[in-house]
Structure 1
């Protein structure tokens, strides 16, 4: 199965951001969506609150016009960001009074956030979760259920 281009591009950008330490949940240019959208923050105008799943007027207009940003609709972008923030340990929407992690750029926290985002992105494109390693360890009659080539295909 061929990986959809929007998924492939998003994964590459998130991978680079994670490994280059340019992923920051509280920055609209460096969060999950900010990185997917080439470190631009114009997406923040789609809702009134960072981490909110509700489109504002501008977001509704873009959604109703069928606009896509690097392949994603405004609603999909809000879902991606909310998933990332929640998995990183934030109480949504992002607000100074709401709970947040002590160290927002902790690699373990970011990894948890990205794992959930990758799962969501794969789900959006009807692709098996590329981070699901459970097939590697499935067995039947004391033998692996799958050949490694099958899993990596």
Structure 2
């Protein structure tokens, strides 16, 4: 299966951010989109509300001109961020009176957000979710479809 370059780069950046504790849903340079865009915060001008799908004037201009940022259109970036925030337990758009998780940088919270983002990124590129492990449990006539060599230590 051929993985598009933009997806491969996004997955590498998100993987590294997660494992280096550099993923933070409340920081525009360390959130999902912030990491995909090389920890820059300029993407925040694409919308007037963090987590909103409504493009700002600047966002609409870039969208209408067909501009992309590391391969993603402004609207795709807003979708990615919304998916991430919601999967982390936030009510979007972010504002001081909306509910949010008690510990937004908890590894389990971030993992849930990351899984949702990876699924969404794969859907944007029309490829199967790279984190879908259900295939390893497929069976026919009470036997597994896929065999694995298991080494016991």
TM > 0.5:
yes
Shift of 1:120: 0.4
Corresponding residue of 2:126: 126
2:34 is aligned to: 34
- Are 2:140 and 1:143 equivalent residues in the alignment? no
Distance in structure 1 (CA, Å) of the matches to 2:106 and 2:124 = 27
Q: Residues 65-123 of structure 1, C-alpha deviation per residue, up to 9 Å, x if partnerless?
A: 00000000000000000000000000010011000001010000000000000000001
Distance in 2 between the 1:141 and 1:67 partners? 51
For residues 138 and 81 of structure 1, what CA distance do their matches in structure 2 show? Answer: 32
What TM-score do you get using the length of structure 1 for normalisation? 0.95
Partner Cα distance (1:92, 1:82) in 2: 7
Given the two structures, how large is their TM-score scaled by the length of structure 2?
Answer: 0.95
- In structure 1, stretches of 5+ residues that fail to align are 149-153
Unaligned runs of 5+ in 2: 149-153
Deviation at residue 145 of structure 1 after TM alignment: 2.2
Q: Trace 1:36-115 onto structure 2 (pairs within 5 A).
A: 36-115=36-115
- Runs of 4 or more, structure 1, over 6 Å off, are none
For residue 146 of structure 2, give the secondary structure of its aligned residue in structure 1. Answer: coil
Distance 1:13 1:112 in 2: 17
> How far is 1:140 from its partner?
1.2
Q: Which moved more, 1:14-23 or 1:138-147?
A: 138-147
